[in-house]
Amino acid sequence: MAITSPANRLWWKEPIHRIELTWIIIAFLWGLVMFFTMVYWHAVGDQNLANTTFKTTPQAYTAKTDAMVQQYKVREEFGIPVVRPPPGSDVYLLARIWMWWPILELEKGQSYRMHLSSVDYQHGFSLQPVNINIQVHPGYEHVFTMTPTSSGQFGIICNEFCGVGHHTMASRMYVVDRN
Amino acid sequence: MAAPTIFRTCPTTGLKVDLAAQSLIKANIVAAVIFLALGGLFGLSVALTRWPDVHLLPLDWFYLALTAHGLDVLLCWIIFFEVAVLYFASAILLNCRLAAPRIAWAAFALMVGGAVLTNITVLQGESSVMFTSYVPMKAAPNFYLGLILFAVGALIACGNFFGTLVVAKDERTYEGSVPLVTFGAITAAIIAVFTLASGAVILIPTWLWSIGYISNIDPLMYKLIWWAMGHSSQQINVAVHVSLWYAVAAILLGAKPLSEKASRLAFFLYILFLQLASAHHLLVDPGISSEWKIFNTSYAMYLAVLGSMIHALTVPGTIEAAQRKRGFNKGMFEWLRKAPWGNPAFSGTFLSLVMFGFLGGISGVVMGTEQINLIMHNTLYVPGHFHATVVAGTTLTFMAVSYLLIPLVLQREVMFPRMAKYQTYVFAIGVSGISLFMMGAGTLGIPRRVWDVTMSDAIFPFQFPPAAFLMLTLNGIFAIMAAVGGVMYVVNVVASTFWGKKTADAPKAQKASPPLAAPVRVAVGTYGSAETLYIPGTIVLVGIFFVSFVLYYYVNWKYLAEVWPLR
């Protein structure tokens, strides 16, 4: 029994039955399939988060974001600037308690180099209803390329707990069709 | 000189029971159950707050309750119970005295002290940082100090477990190799040492940082090392509850492992690979290479998953083999239909096995896939998954085993047997609802750890689809059901432990014969220790499991392929 010492002292010399062995082999192969599916997706899939990251500071990141806002601001909504950077450019999104800054307006089908960082706590970038979720760390500037493939108004909410105002930390992203 | 060890002889099994170990097991179970009651209450209040029409708790209380919920059930309930299991699997199963009862009591005192300190600190309201306490969000110093004390206590308990193994070997209290259940407990204890060491590495500096002696803790480093504790501690649970599945099958049905070698190999894979996997929590974090993420999140090519998949065959397989030996041989599933479903120890164990595999296991592997994590990270899918592993898997198993430990180790009859009979079902249905509906809400984008998902206070609120709110409502309803099951358990255990009828004691003058069936020498060349390896029912069940696994895995790749391209 499982609660007594093995009846056969030389249990490690017992052969493993065909049924068990077959299952072990199937499970092992399935593990390999799952492992190489991840690798394969890096080669052919479109959804692979880049790991390009720079160390930064709240001051440096705020300065970069400010510069972009100055250059590409098109309007304001509730006091938050809306920026429309050109396709292919560097786009900065700054997380802080309890807002995303600024609001982005992007073109459908164009690629942008997104930069994400926080100036205080950890935050969670959650783009809805697309459902892309990325962790945002203070001190780290995460850079990846994103290509919106649907247009409309999207929500960006925070999905990492960041204090009592966490549930109010929501913003928008606009994706417009090319005119 | 230490006091001489006093044993009693168990009338049911013939095992010698060290009375000191028995008292320690009792104390740890009682502490565990108290924290389960407390943490369960916090959990229910969280679920009722998530229910949009009820929205029970005010803002600050919600985050406080969520922090305390994780602390009390994930840490305190489970680890106190695990310490009891470690003492059971060493001293009791090996027929041996506990190595150092006084030190074990000191460990218990440290754990209680630490748990109480952290709880008080959380209740003071300045430490609502969630169980994960990600820096740079800062809790009061005593929050970390309490956790450190608790971890030190648990580490000492592990030391006592290892010490007892040495004593048992030295005093030749068993023949040959340790039982499979003890082997599983050793697996758990080895992982526990790694886990607690990781905890010390990160929590001690964080404590010093909270006092002001250290100026900065890197948030990414914190997450990496914290999860070496946080995720690995769930692997302790897996090793322990899988061991207990084997134990329940053995105690109730006399089940023998199909093959000692295959089952032990599966546990050994846990030791080697299970404590990787802190990457599960860092798959969408910056600054970490995809190569590392893929290797780590897959436990080096899914070798620990392989261990669990082996158990997925061998645990139901041992049950089927034992039942067929008892004569339930008709057709494919008579062994399962005529299993002791009225015995909560069995029903809890089997429900736990099924729910852990289908709900917890599959969702965990899918969510832990590097790219798929993008559409699940930090959504309610995450708590949905781990309620299926930690509650349906670990907690339900512990509840089931309690109904055996109370008469066998604590020598009390279960006070309300009818309530016990239904308790496991009520709890299991409640938990499966919680898991499924949280996972469902998560796939619709509902974030975890948010007080108000309608975001009515936000300037730019996002409207989630109505289906998501329906899921949150159902989650609340099933949480009530799980809570009812929890109360039924706590009341029964506390009442039985303190006021239950004493079971008849064994005749004192039993000779110290070898416990249970003495090991018999069998010719090498037979397949394992089970009499039959005719297990067609198990093969069908495992086949259904495998097909579900593969389908669900690729369905999620399809969902991923539909989101915006990222590179």
pLDDT in tens, A7-50: 888 888 888 888 999 999 999 999 999 999 999 999 999 999 99
Cβ–Cβ of B452/A167 closer than 8 Å? yes
User: Residue B261's closest CA among B202, B331, B181, B180?
Assistant: B180
Q: What is the CATH number of domain A53-176?
A: 2.60.40.420
Vertex B343 angle, CA B486 and B481, to 5°: 25
Task: Write down all domains in chain B, each with its CATH number in brackets.
Answer: 12-452+462-503+530-561 (1.20.210.10)
Q: pLDDT tens digits, residue range B64-123?
A: 999 999 999 999 999 999 999 999 999 999 999 999 999 999 999 999 999 999 999 999
Measured in whole angstroms, how far is the alpha carbon of residue B428 from the centre of its chain?
Answer: 14
pLDDT beyond 70 at B304: yes
CA closest to A32 among chain B residues: B301
Question: pTM for the whole thing?
Answer: 0.95
- Per-residue pLDDT averaged across B408-424, rounded? 95
The pLDDT value recorded for residue B10 is: 81
Cβ–Cβ of B457/A11 closer than 8 Å? no
Query: Which residue in the set B174, B310, B522 is minimally distant from A7, CB to CB?
Result: B522
Spatial neighbors of B547 by CB under 8 A, at least 6 apart, are none
Backbone angles phi, psi at B502, to 5 degrees: -70, 135
Q: Is the model more confident about B15 or about B505?
A: B15
Three-class SS of residue A136?
strand
Instruction: Establish whether the linkage from the previous residue to A148 is cis, with ω within 30° of 0.
Output: no
In whole numbers, what is the pLDDT of chain B averaged over residues? 92
The pLDDT value recorded for residue A7 is: 84
- Helix residue spans in B326-416 (DSSP H): 334-337, 344-355, 362-367, 381-386, 396-408
Chain B residues touching residue A81 (CB < 8 angstroms): none
Long-range Cβ contact pairs of B517-523 (< 8 A, separation 24 or more): B517/A1, B517/A4, B517/A7, B518/B175, B519/A4, B519/A5, B519/A6, B519/A7, B519/A8, B519/A9, B519/B175, B519/B176, B520/A7, B521/A8, B521/A9, B522/A7, B522/A8
The single-letter DSSP state of residue B70 is: I
Segments making up each domain of chain A, as ranges: 53-176
Q: pLDDT tens digits, residue range B240-260?
A: 999 999 999 999 999 999 999
Q: pLDDT tens digits, residue range B125-142?
A: 999 999 999 999 999 999
Instruction: State both tokens at A90.
Output: 């560097």
The pLDDT value recorded for residue A14 is: 86
Q: Mind telling me how many Å the CA of A87 is from chain B's nearest CA? A: 15
The pLDDT value recorded for residue B526 is: 60
The pLDDT value recorded for residue B523 is: 43
The pLDDT value recorded for residue A117 is: 98
Q: Mind telling me how many Å the CA of A122 is from chain B's nearest CA? A: 7
pLDDT beyond 70 at B2: no
User: Residue B434's closest CA among B492, B493, B385, B468?
Assistant: B385
In whole numbers, what is the pLDDT of chain A averaged over residues? 95
Backbone angles phi, psi at A17, to 5 degrees: -65, 155
Three-class SS of residue B545?
helix
Q: pLDDT tens digits, residue range A67-122?
A: 999 999 999 999 999 999 999 999 999 999 999 999 999 999 999 999 999 999 99
CA closest to B550 among chain A residues: A30
Distance CA B435, CA B442 (A): 11
pLDDT band at B518 (very low <50, low <70, confident <90, very high): very low
Cβ–Cβ of B377/A124 closer than 8 Å? yes
- Per-residue pLDDT averaged across B450-456, rounded? 92
Distance CA B539, CA B217 (A): 50
pLDDT band at A151 (very low <50, low <70, confident <90, very high): very high
pLDDT beyond 60 at B513: no
Distance CA A101, CA A150 (A): 22
The pLDDT value recorded for residue B226 is: 94
